[in-house]
Amino acid sequence: MSRCNDIRTDGLCKFFINTGDCPSGTNCRFTHPPLDQLKKVRTEWVKQRIKQRRLKQQRPEDPHNPSEKLKKNARSQVFADWVLSTFPEALNVVDVAGGKGLVGLIVEKASSKAQSQKSETESETLFPRVTATLIDPRPRDVSKQMRRVAPSSTEGIKLNAHLQEWFQDPPSETVDRLLKREKTVIIGLHPDQATEPIVDIGLARGIPWAVVPCCVFPELYPNRIWPGDGGGEVNSTEKLIDWLKAKNGDIKEAYLPFEGRNRVLYWTAETSTQSSL
Ligand SMILES: C[S@@+](CC[C@H](N)C(=O)[O-])C[C@H]1O[C@@H](n2cnc3c(N)ncnc32)[C@H](O)[C@@H]1O
């Protein structure tokens, strides 16, 4: 039987906190809170552990206070706002691996709103100025958050365009046509296997892009060898970021104010002769 002395941390007995019991009983060196307070103590203990984990994960370059970061479910709003302010000239946002496509919906809504404010003074009705197309093979079910953002009429809610396919290099003919539109930006928030194709296609075609890398899938990409200290397999988000940054000296980075993977890499194509913005 495992002894609780081997498995707990801090002043509390982890075994007792989790199960309400402890194999060491009264011999345990650690604190067993009264059973009637167990739930409360466990809740606080979990909260503290999450806080400690966040502090540990925080990179020194990240300027956002870990206790003030927005929850993960705010990431689409934060990323969409950041995209609109970083690429103010964009007209064609290609939202790759966007899942349900909330980022694109927010982008279109924000640009429609900006247009309608403008139209009061300039009698214009151009809605939306920016169009966003989702590229993701997943079927799109409509979440509550999407309902709040998407325009609706008696016919139901109106979603932005969706190409239900994989984004890959080289792209399909349909995606190729989409990428050739004026003032295109390719974006990917936690875009999984689409991360590197976004970067490669953007750089090769002079199309600005932004990605927030997350999962790495080292088993799918055994040929990725990390160029940083010690080298080795690209098997973490940090190494994937180094791997991507090594592709072009003009790639910039920033940190977004939400919990979890929040490091955004982007390329504005300013130094490229093929710039589409
Ligand atoms: C972790 S989810 C992120 C979804 C969304 N961006 C978000 O932050 O909620 C990753 C998404 O990537 C999509 N995906 C993975 N590889 C892709 C590819 N090559 N092309 C398009 N979508 C891809 C998956 O279908 C999935 O919806």
User: Ligand 1 centre from 263 Cα, in Å?
Assistant: 17
Asked if 86 and 36 sit in the same domain, the reply is no
Sign of CA dihedral 145, 148, 154, 157: negative
Asked if 51 and 99 sit in the same domain, the reply is no
**Pocket test residue of 105, 143, 192 for ligand 1, highest count of atoms within 8 A of CB:** 192
User: Ligand 1 centre from 169 Cα, in Å?
Assistant: 15
Q: Is 138 in the pocket of ligand 1 (CB under 6 A)?
A: yes
Residue 6: the pLDDT is 40
User: Ligand 1 centre from 95 Cα, in Å?
Assistant: 10
User: Ligand 1 centre from 157 Cα, in Å?
Assistant: 23
**Bridge-partner residues for 70, per DSSP?**
258
10 confidence band (pLDDT: 50, 70, 90): low
Q: Is 93 in the pocket of ligand 1 (CB under 6 A)?
A: no
Residue 124: the pLDDT is 47
Tokens at 31, concatenated: 């604190």
C-alpha span between 89 and 227 (Å, rounded) = 34
Which is more confidently placed, 201 or 227? 201
Task: Using alpha carbons, list the distances in angstroms from residue 23 to 11, 58, 65.
Answer: 17, 36, 40
Residue 274: the pLDDT is 46
User: Ligand 1 centre from 121 Cα, in Å?
Assistant: 40
On whether residue 277 sits in a domain, the answer given is no
In ligand 1, the atom with minimum distance to the C-alpha of 189 is 6
Residue 275: the pLDDT is 43
Answer yes or no: is pLDDT of 9 > 60: no
Q: In what order do the strands lie in the sheet with 161-163?
A: 161-163, 131-135, 92-96, 184-189, 209-212, 263-267, 252-255
Residues 6+ apart with CB under 8 A from 94: 132, 133, 135, 175, 178, 179, 184, 185, 186, 187
Asked if 85 and 50 sit in the same domain, the reply is no
Asked if 120 and 207 sit in the same domain, the reply is yes
Domain CATH for 110:
3.40.50
Residues 6+ apart with CB under 8 A from 266: 86, 208, 209, 210, 211, 251, 252, 253, 254
* 224 in Cβ contact with 241 (< 8 Å): no
CA-based end-to-end distance of the chain:
65
Asked if 160 and 48 sit in the same domain, the reply is no
Arithmetic mean of pLDDT over the chain: 89
Asked if 140 and 49 sit in the same domain, the reply is no
User: Ligand 1 centre from 133 Cα, in Å?
Assistant: 14
Q: Is 189 in the pocket of ligand 1 (CB under 6 A)?
A: yes
**Mean pLDDT along residues 138-152:** 92
Q: Is 104 in the pocket of ligand 1 (CB under 6 A)?
A: no
CA 265 to chain centre: 11
Q: Is 172 in the pocket of ligand 1 (CB under 6 A)?
A: no
Tokens at 20, concatenated: 């309400």
Q: Where are the alpha helices (DSSP H) in 130-223?
A: 144-149, 173-179, 195-205
Asked if 49 and 108 sit in the same domain, the reply is no
Nearest CA to ligand 1 atom 26: 99
pLDDT tens column, 236-273: 999 999 999 999 999 999 999 999 999 999 999 986 44
Q: Is 96 in the pocket of ligand 1 (CB under 6 A)?
A: yes
* 209 in Cβ contact with 248 (< 8 Å): no
Q: Is 166 in the pocket of ligand 1 (CB under 6 A)?
A: yes
On whether residue 272 sits in a domain, the answer given is no
* 264 in Cβ contact with 82 (< 8 Å): yes
Asked if 152 and 114 sit in the same domain, the reply is yes
On whether residue 276 sits in a domain, the answer given is no
On whether residue 48 sits in a domain, the answer given is yes
Asked if 41 and 100 sit in the same domain, the reply is no
- Number of C-beta neighbours around residue 225 at 10 A: 12
* 245 in Cβ contact with 235 (< 8 Å): no
C-alpha span between 157 and 168 (Å, rounded) = 30
Residue 270: the pLDDT is 82
Asked if 81 and 203 sit in the same domain, the reply is yes
Look at the chain and report how many structural domains it folds into.
Answer: 2
Nearest CA to ligand 1 atom 16: 193
Task: Using alpha carbons, list the distances in angstroms from residue 268 to 199, 223, 227, 264.
Answer: 12, 27, 24, 13
**Mean pLDDT along residues 99-124:** 79
Q: Report which secondary-structure segment, H or E, holds 3.
A: none
On whether residue 274 sits in a domain, the answer given is no
Domain end position, chosen among 57, 81, 101: 57
Domain that holds residue 51: 4-57
C-alpha span between 106 and 108 (Å, rounded) = 5
153 confidence band (pLDDT: 50, 70, 90): confident
Residue 72: the pLDDT is 93
User: Ligand 1 centre from 125 Cα, in Å?
Assistant: 34
Asked if 78 and 174 sit in the same domain, the reply is yes
Q: Is 190 in the pocket of ligand 1 (CB under 6 A)?
A: yes
pLDDT tens column, 178-215: 999 999 999 999 999 999 999 999 999 999 999 999 99
